[in-house]
């Protein structure tokens, strides 16, 4: 039985629900704060949102219903699924992903998406239902102070106090999410604020992103360092993609003869086939990159915040002879601590430097780059060691490379299975990679949903481990409900493989503990949810299963039974 407090709350909400019932014609009643919110999103070009409904934002749901022909609201099975999907959507659409969740438990579940968007530099708007204004500060039912909870992770947290303030808060949140280094903004919505009359004020003006052109002297300084270098290498990251500066990066690399490495999980900044592309950084240096970075006499980091995964806990920067860092965020520049720091947008820097190249690149520089490219090709195209299990993930990824269209988007989860993908798959366009640099498990399936909606008509394939799929794999139901033709590969080795690898390497053969997972029949589960599904127990069965999955009418899943002894694409084995 409900307590007296809960009973009063339920009774009050039933009354509020009755007041929210609207006439058939929305034009005949006053606009609410919820209406103002949705109208502002529409005015800012938002046409897709994700979420889990909640009683704390019923007026917003009603406004979304009114706008359903113009703004698609995708209902997910869990709040983490909503924010993961919004993160992938924001990354690929290059505009804020949008998610709606209810207060308290809904917000805490959704917070993983805030953290992911922050560390991945992805624009995200998270709208959270909040207790009514009169109940604030009393530890009311499911109350949380979102400024304190989300402030350290988000770029900003808003909580409009009146219905008439909602539109301006949404417009400002949108502007902040895309300004400079993009990231997440949270907007808490007191229930009475979304239900109250907002008036008839005109929608707020859209705020264009602030331009951050480079200072002329900064361009001269970078050009001087480039001219003096014999073996320059670029580390290109997320801002290249967000600003759409990929062609500018290619033109710069061609003009100066630089080699280009992508930062962690940012493949696609330059096509894999481009002669300047030398692979990706992250978590461990393969032998050819050890040589490359030891010989490089200039590291130009552009559009990457130089996170510790990319730099191997700062090793790449600390061992470099000379470093330059270009990024539109002063805090990220200060945190990396490179020698020459330039706070500016990426595209104009690349364009200015390409124009500043007055003569052909020196032949020795091009010869060095060509040698590094040959080493990268050998690393990418050759498997490090034969598989111990019956399913060889190197061969699986090679089949994907051969059978998937060039404009595919690949979404992967965190886990050692992804090392084969990151080593062997050729990412050939700016939107080919969508994976969390933050390493959040559970991203792949909801991320694939967001990617498919950001790129309708394009092929989207997701790879997850059995651990990550167990966290959010139920979002395949969302894909079924929305008839999204994603293909999901579940790499099932019966455990948390990354942790097993670390335990094995540190403590020995018998030290793996707390990592075993009891895997169900993932294909049977997928079929029960309404998706087509296949199980692959040996490598040769994968190609025909993939062909059938690609031809499925709707989402499809392939359950790959892999072997825990095959630890990583580096060739590491558990003997």
**DSSP secondary structure string for all residues of 478-526:** HHHHTT---EEEEEE-SB-HHHHHHHHHHH-GGG--S-B-----HHHHH
Mean pLDDT on 258-268: 95
- How many other C-beta atoms are found inside a 10 Å radius of the C-beta of residue 65? 12
Domains and CATH numbers, the chain: 19-195 (3.40.50.970), 216-374 (3.40.50.1220), 383-561 (3.40.50.970)
pLDDT at 12 over 90: no
| pLDDT confidence of residue 7 | 33
The pLDDT confidence band at residue 27, using thresholds 50, 70 and 90, is low
| pLDDT confidence of residue 446 | 98
pLDDT tens track for 395-454:
999 999 999 999 999 999 999 999 999 999 999 999 999 999 888 999 999 999 999 999
| pLDDT confidence of residue 25 | 52
pLDDT tens track for 471-527:
999 999 999 999 999 999 999 999 998 899 989 989 988 888 899 999 999 999 999
Distance in angstroms (rounded) separating the CA atoms of residues 256 and 237: 19
DSSP-derived secondary structure letter, 313: T
pLDDT at 2 over 50: no
Mean pLDDT, the chain, whole residue set: 91
313 vs 251, more confident:
251
pLDDT tens track for 193-230:
999 999 887 778 787 778 899 999 999 999 999 999 99
Percent of the chain with pLDDT over 70: 95
pLDDT at 22 over 60: no
Mean pLDDT on 145-153: 91
Percent of the chain with pLDDT over 90: 79
The pLDDT confidence band at residue 29, using thresholds 50, 70 and 90, is low
The pLDDT confidence band at residue 358, using thresholds 50, 70 and 90, is confident
Give 482: exposed, middle or buried? Use CB within 10 Å, 0-12, 13-18, 19+. middle
């Amino acid at each position: 039985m409900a307590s007296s407090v809960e009973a009063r709350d339920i009774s009050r909400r039933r009354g509020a629900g009755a007041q929210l019932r609207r006439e058939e014609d929305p034009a005949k009643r006053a606009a609410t704060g919820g209406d103002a919110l949705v109208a502002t999103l529409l005015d800012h070009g938002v046409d897709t949102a994700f979420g889990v409904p909640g009683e704390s934002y019923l007026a917003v749901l009603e406004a979304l219903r009114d706008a359903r022909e113009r703004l698609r609201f995708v209902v997910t099975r869990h709040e983490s699924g909503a924010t993961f999907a919004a993160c992938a959507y924001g990354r690929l659409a290059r505009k804020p992903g949008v998610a709606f969740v209810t207060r308290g438990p809904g917000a805490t579940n959704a917070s993983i998406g805030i953290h992911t968007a922050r560390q991945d530099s992805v624009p995200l708007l998270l709208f959270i239902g909040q207790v009514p204004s009169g109940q604030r500060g009393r530890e009311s039912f499911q109350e949380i102070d979102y400024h304190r909870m989300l402030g350290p992770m988000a770029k900003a947290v808003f909580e409009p106090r009146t219905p008439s303030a909602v539109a301006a808060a949404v417009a400002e949140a949108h502007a902040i999410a895309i300004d400079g280094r993009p990231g997440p903004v949270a907007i808490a919505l007191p229930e009475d604020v979304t239900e109250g009359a907002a008036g008839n004020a005109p929608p707020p003006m859209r705020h264009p992103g602030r331009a951050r052109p480079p200072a002329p002297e900064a361009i001269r300084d970078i050009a001087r360092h480039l001219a003096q270098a014999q073996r320059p290498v670029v580390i290109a990251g997320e801002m290249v993609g967000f600003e759409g500066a990929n062609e500018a990066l290619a033109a710069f690399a061609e003009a100066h003869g630089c080699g280009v490495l992508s930062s962690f999980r940012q493949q696609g900044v330059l096509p894999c086939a481009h002669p300047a592309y030398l692979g990706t950084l992250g978590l461990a240096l393969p032998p050819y990159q050890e040589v490359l970075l030891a010989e490089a006499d200039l590291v130009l980091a552009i559009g990457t915040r130089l996170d510790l995964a990319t730099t191997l806990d700062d090793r790449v920067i600390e061992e470099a002879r000379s470093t330059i860092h270009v990024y539109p965020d002063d805090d990220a520049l200060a945190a990396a601590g490179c020698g020459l720091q330039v706070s500016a947008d990426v595209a104009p820097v690349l364009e200015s430097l390409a124009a500043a190249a007055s003569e052909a690149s020196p032949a020795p520089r091009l010869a060095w780059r060509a040698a590094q490219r040959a080493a990268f090709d050998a690393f990418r195209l050759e498997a490090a060691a034969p598989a111990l299990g019956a399913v060889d993930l190197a061969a699986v990824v090679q089949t994907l490379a051969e059978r998937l269209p060039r404009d595919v988007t690949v979404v992967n989860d965190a886990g050692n299975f992804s090392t084969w993908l990151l080593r062997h798959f050729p990412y050939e366009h700016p939107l080919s990679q969508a994976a969390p640099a933050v390493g959040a498990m559970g991203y792949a399936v909801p991320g694939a949903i967001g990617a498919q909606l950001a790129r309708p008509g394009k092929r989207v394939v997701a790879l997850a481990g059995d651990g990550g799929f167990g966290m959010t794999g139920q979002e395949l139901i969302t894909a079924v409900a929305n008839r999204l033709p994603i293909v999901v590969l579940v790499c099932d080795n019966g455990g948390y493989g990354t942790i097993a690898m670390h335990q094995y390497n540190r403590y020995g053969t018998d030290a793996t503990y707390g990592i075993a997972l009891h895997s169900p029949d993932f294909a049977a589960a997928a079929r029960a949810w309404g998706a087509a599904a296949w199980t692959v127990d040996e490598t040769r069965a994968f190609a025909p299963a993939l062909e059938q999955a690609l031809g499925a009418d709707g989402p499809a899943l392939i359950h790959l039974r892999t072997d825990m002894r095959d630890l990583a694409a580096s060739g590491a084995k558990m003997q």
